Amino acid sequence: MRTQVVIIGGGPSGLLLGQLLHRKGIETVILERKTRDYVLARIRAGILETGLVNMMREAGVSERMDRECFVHHGTCISYENEMFDIDFHKLIGQNVIVYGQTELTHDLYDAREAVGAKTIFEVEDVKICDADRDAPYVTFNSGGVEQRIDCDFVAGCDGFHGVSRTTIPDTVRKDFEKVFPFGWLGILSETPPVHDELIYANSNRGFALCSMRNENLSRYYVQCALTDKVENWSDEDFWDELKRRVPEAIADKLVTGPSIEKSIAPLRSFVSEPMRWGRLFLCGDAAHIVPPTGAKGLNTAASDVHYLYEALVQFYQDNETNGIDHYSQKALARVWKAERFSWATTNLLHRFPDQSEFDLKMQRAEIESLHYNEVAQKWFAQNYVGLPY
């Protein structure tokens, strides 16, 4: 088999890249380790920056998103019983939208199927070969049969546990990592959201987040210990804990109900450099992870896709390699800013096991500065809605 670009991973990065390239007449094959249903059952991000929204439009897949999404002009931050709003629209004239990663991925799969682009599910033992030469190829096992695809380029969109990143030799690659000493326990419930904006809550019992998917689907999180097990958290325990971490007025109007999904995610910051090795390009979680506090994971994956898409179009349309040559540098410059924002918001809002009383005072002073200082609010707003590509 031969194609122009082999995309490893059928998550949001791989699918969006595939759809954008298809619109420019560039052929791709996506190799996905799981089934489509499995990928669509993963509950992940909920907030989309304008950059990603615009790419969905450019890819011709925004019809349902534009119809069903909720526009959020700001977000709320609470500390104990205090709560304030950071009004992105008023501060910088921009906003974000609420549209779940599950829905976005669904739309991208539908679009890919509609145009007849090839996706091979349940592949095993994917190997990227000769990425540092002129004629790379990818081998894999599908239904017990060994296969090979020759290509011009390989896009490694296979997430944190994929094979693409580790294809880059240790002598070339450098990883940077910070693991946070806690996780997020998240639930999805068919209940109306407690507030019309997200609430990021700092409390003396730890962080909590009130988020949503639609008018009858809420997503809530509480900071938990890394040793906690989902099965030891009953729905009742979850709701009780959440209520203790948000302002009383919010707790009083919280509508509870049975969870339809419950999971624990560890929090980590991670970046692998470089994001290009020869004809292999890393995109999204394959190259970097952020703690979810700034809602940057999916959005940073999207900015990588943007740079790679432009680079590949330049190559195929104008025989120009400038975009390809500068892909890693450009993508990483934006990635590190998103890493910084996610790390800073995580530090601002969580309780750490080794926090001294001095540290707590510093955290409180920083939250108050965000509450009362418009310059601090502007910085937060610019980062939250997403820095320009």
Residue from 19, 32, 152, 208 binding ligand RFL (CB under 6 A): 32
Q: Which residues of 281-301 are buried (b: 16+ CB within 10 A; e: fewer)?
A: bbbbbbbbbbbbbbbbbbbbb
Phi, psi of 356 (to 5 degrees): -85, 170
| 211 lies in the binding site for ligand PHB (CB under 6 A) | yes
Two structure tokens written together for 234: 């009953």
| 33 lies in the binding site for ligand PHB (CB under 6 A) | no
Q: x/- string (CB under 6 A) for ligand RFL, residues 350-379? A: ------------------------------
Two structure tokens written together for 370: 């965000």
Two structure tokens written together for 273: 């450099």
Report how many residues bind ligand RFL under the rule CB under 6 A: 34
Least distance (Å) between residue 138 CB and ligand RFL: 10
Which of ligand RFL, ligand PHB, none is residue 293 near (CB under 5 to 8 Å by kind)? ligand PHB
Angle at the Cα of 301 (from 92 to 261), degrees rounded to 5?
Answer: 95
Residue from 101, 223, 256, 272 binding ligand RFL (CB under 6 A): 101
Residue from 22, 72, 112, 219 binding ligand PHB (CB under 6 A): 219
Closest CA to 86 of 7, 183, 217, 199: 199
Of 315 and 384, CB closest to ligand RFL? 384
The answer to whether residues 299 and 48 touch, using CB atoms and an 8 Å cutoff, is yes
- Which span (15-23, 39-47, 144-152, 320-328) binds ligand PHB, by CB under 6 A? 39-47
Q: How many secondary structure helices (H) and strands (E) does the chain include?
A: 13, 20
Residue from 10, 18, 46, 284 binding ligand PHB (CB under 6 A): 46
| 19 lies in the binding site for ligand RFL (CB under 6 A) | no
Q: What is the largest CA-CA distance in the chain?
A: 63
3-state secondary structure labels for all residues of 3-18: CCEEEECCCHHHHHHH
225: helix, coil or strand? coil
Two structure tokens written together for 163: 């094979």
Where in 138-197 is the site for ligand RFL (CB under 6 A)?
157-163
Helices (H), 76-204: 88-92, 101-114, 164-167
Q: What are the catalytic residues?
A: 72, 200, 292, 296, 384
Which of ligand RFL, ligand PHB, none is residue 199 near (CB under 5 to 8 Å by kind)? none
> How far from 302 is each of 45, 58, 66, 299, CA to CA, in Å?
12, 13, 17, 5
Task: Please name every residue paired with 219 in a beta bridge, in sequence order, or none if there are none.
Answer: 188, 211
Closest CA to 306 of 294, 290, 323: 323
Where in 272-331 is the site for ligand PHB (CB under 6 A)?
292-293, 295
Least distance (Å) between residue 298 CB and ligand RFL: 4
Least distance (Å) between residue 275 CB and ligand PHB: 24
Which of ligand RFL, ligand PHB, none is residue 162 near (CB under 5 to 8 Å by kind)? ligand RFL
Where in 265-294 is the site for ligand RFL (CB under 6 A)?
265, 284-285, 292
Two structure tokens written together for 357: 């009383």
Q: x/- string (CB under 6 A) for ligand RFL, residues 103-142? A: --------------------x--x----------------
- Which span (42-50, 81-89, 150-158, 247-255) binds ligand PHB, by CB under 6 A? 42-50
- Which span (8-16, 27-35, 40-48, 52-60) binds ligand PHB, by CB under 6 A? 40-48
The rounded distance, in Å, linking the Cα atoms of 229 and 161 is 21
What DSSP element (H or E) covers 48?
A: strand 47-48
The pairing of beta strand 145-150 with beta strand 137-142: antiparallel
Least distance (Å) between residue 46 CB and ligand PHB: 3
The rounded distance, in Å, linking the Cα atoms of 385 and 60 is 22
Which of ligand RFL, ligand PHB, none is residue 157 near (CB under 5 to 8 Å by kind)? ligand RFL
Report the interface residues with ligand PHB, using CB under 6 A.
Answer: 45-47, 198, 211, 219, 292-293, 295
Report the interface residues with ligand RFL, using CB under 6 A.
Answer: 8-14, 31-34, 39, 44-46, 101, 123, 126, 157-163, 265, 284-285, 292, 295-298, 301
